[in-house]
Structure formats: structure tokens, C-alpha cells
Amino acid sequence: MNKKQENFEASNYRAWHLSSSSHEAISTEFEWSMLRFQQAFERWVMQLAGVTGMGELSYIEAVIIHIIRMHDRPKSATDIARQLNRDDIPNIQYCLRKLVKAGFCERIKDRSRKTAAYRVTARGRKLTENYADLRRRILMDQSKNIDRVDEKLDEVNKMISMMTGLYDEAGRITATYNPATEKNGD
């Protein structure tokens, strides 16, 4: 263990009920960083949506309209759920109904699909273009000044993808976990 790790371990993890080792402390910091990032990201999406004419949308609706627009191909509720790593299809369907009612997208029946799919309307296309343009001017222009930003983002993307798999697997294990079968030292 190097000096930096020792200092981190000595000063931080003993105060956390979630951490009894430096690995647990670093993992807990990762989780808290992700929570803070999510909140900052949600505020950013909502601010940008409001400025670009989509202020009536909730955060998840603003995200879903961009998923529908992705690759300019219609998406089903299941496709959207897969992209978001969600399993609450009824909530996604509710958001889709709201997007249709607001005129951002339309429900279509595709002959090759057994279920309905959704595509953006002309209004939805214009507003998502406005969103993309302003995002490019504000966020992308700032972030490109970070040293080796694309390389760093690629590395973070890969790590978060792996961690997503670990959390999903831990969730599956927890769903069938029986504390009564665990040896308890208390």
C-alpha cells in the first residue's frame, strides 16, 4: 500500500458505517460521487430542456425523447427500457403517453414489430435539435478543454459499464439472499 492509500485509509474509512477497509471506502466514495453526478446531470438536463422549449417535460421524459431520437429509428418501450437499464415498463409507457400528448413524439405500428414503437414528430425533432445545439455550445465547448478528455471519458465509460454489471449481479444475488442461512457471529 502506498502512502496516499494509507493516509486515505487512516483518515476516512473508519468513520463510515459502509466502509471497513480502504477498498470499501473507495467504493463508497465512488457511489457517493455517482449520486452527486446524477443530481448535477439531472439539473443540467432540466435547465437545458427549459431553455430549449422542453420545460414541460420531467427529467426522464427529456431523456426518453433523446433515446427515441437516437439513430432516427422508432423505439418501443422495451427498447427504451433496455437503453436506460430499467425494468419498469409501465412507467416508461406512461412517459411515452405524455410525450405523445405533448406532441413531441407519435405512436406508430410497425409491421415487423408486435408492439408499438415511437418516433419524434417534427416538433420533437426541432426541440431536440435546439437542445443538441445548445449542449454543444455550452457543455462540449467547455469539456473539450480538459486534458485528454476523450481518453478519460472512454476509460470512465468502460469502468461504469463494468460496475453496472457488478451492481446488477449483486442485486440478483440480494434478491435471493436469505440472512437466516448466513452464519452470524453476533
Longest dimension (CA), the chain: 64
What is the pLDDT at residue 127? Answer: 97
The contacts of residue 85 (CB under 8 Å, 6+ apart) are: 164, 168
Strand partners, 120: 105
Other CB atoms within 10 A of residue 13 CB: 19
Please report where in the chains the cell 433496455 appears, as a residue. Answer: 82
- Average pLDDT score over the chain: 89
Instruction: Give the distance, in angstroms, between the CA of residue 185 and the centroid of all CA atoms in the same chain.
Output: 38
67-114 residue pLDDT tens: 999 999 999 999 999 999 999 999 999 999 999 999 999 999 866 667
Q: Look at residue 116 and give its three-state secondary structure.
A: strand
Instruction: Give yes or no for residue 178 having a pLDDT over 90.
Output: no
Instruction: Give yes or no for residue 41 having a pLDDT over 80.
Output: yes
Q: Which triple of cell numbers denotes residue 8? A: 486515505
The contacts of residue 81 (CB under 8 Å, 6+ apart) are: 87, 88, 89, 92
What is the pLDDT at residue 132? Answer: 96
Percent with pLDDT over 70 in the chain: 88
114-159 residue pLDDT tens: 789 999 999 999 999 999 999 999 999 999 999 999 999 999 999 9
* Separation of alpha carbons 94 and 84, rounded Å: 15
